[in-house]
């Protein structure tokens, strides 16, 4: 992954290069960030996040009905999201209800939607949240 620079390559600002190299996240942190985005890279998991940012504490059956999928498929994806700390669970008797783990997940989703819709008036996505949701 690290590419060596040949001796004849001219760095324009060695101090800047050294500072940025020093400030880069470590390998372990980069791996964690990659896992975070990997967890969000699946359309089903993104649909679950989308539903949960619109309404907290949905059960598997409700999510399955909303997304038109089996409870088994939803449960599998929720397990992956829980493993990566993107959702949390609350039990009520035999039922488990899910919510986004915190507002960071909601904000990352909202920023991604905003980014893809930037300059495209044909998309008018509904993303819950706003300034009132920023307090954490």
The alpha carbon torsion through 52, 54, 56, 61 (nearest 10 deg) reads -60
Helices (H) and strands (E) in the chain, counts: 6, 3
Given 1.10.10.10, 2.60.40.10, 3.40.50.620, 1.10.3720.10, which CATH number is that of 14-119? 1.10.10.10
pLDDT (tens place) for every residue of the chain, 136 residues total: 556 655 557 999 999 999 999 999 999 999 999 999 999 999 999 999 999 999 999 999 999 999 999 999 999 999 999 999 999 999 999 999 999 999 999 999 999 999 999 977 776 666 665 444 443 4
What residues does 59 pair with on adjacent strands?
Answer: 97
Ordered by start, the domain boundaries in the chain are 14-119
Instruction: Please provide residue 98's backbone torsions phi and psi, each rounded to the nearest 5 degrees.
Output: -120, 150
Record the tokens describing residue 32, joined without a space.
């964690």
Under 8 Å between Cβ of 88 and 96: no
Q: Select from 96, 131, 127, 97 the least CA-distant residue to 114.
A: 127
- pLDDT score of 11: 94
Give every CB contact of residue 21 below 8 A, 6+ residues apart in sequence: none
Q: Select from 58, 50, 93 the least CA-distant residue to 75.
A: 58
């Amino acid at each position: 992954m690290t590419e060596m620079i040949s001796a004849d390559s001219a760095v324009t600002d060695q101090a800047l290069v050294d500072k940025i190299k020093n400030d880069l996240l470590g390998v372990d942190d980069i791996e964690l960030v990659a896992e975070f985005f990997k967890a969000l890279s699946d359309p089903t998991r993104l649909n679950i996040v989308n539903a949960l940012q619109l309404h907290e504490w949905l059960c598997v059956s409700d999510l399955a009905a909303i997304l038109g999928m089996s409870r088994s498929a939803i449960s599998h994806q929720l397990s992956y999201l829980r493993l990566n700390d993107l959702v949390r669970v609350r039990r009520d008797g035999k039922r488990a209800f899910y919510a986004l783990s915190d507002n960071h997940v909601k904000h990352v989703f909202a920023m991604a939607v905003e980014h893809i819709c930037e300059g495209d008036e044909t998309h008018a996505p509904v993303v819950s949240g706003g300034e009132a949701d920023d307090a954490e």
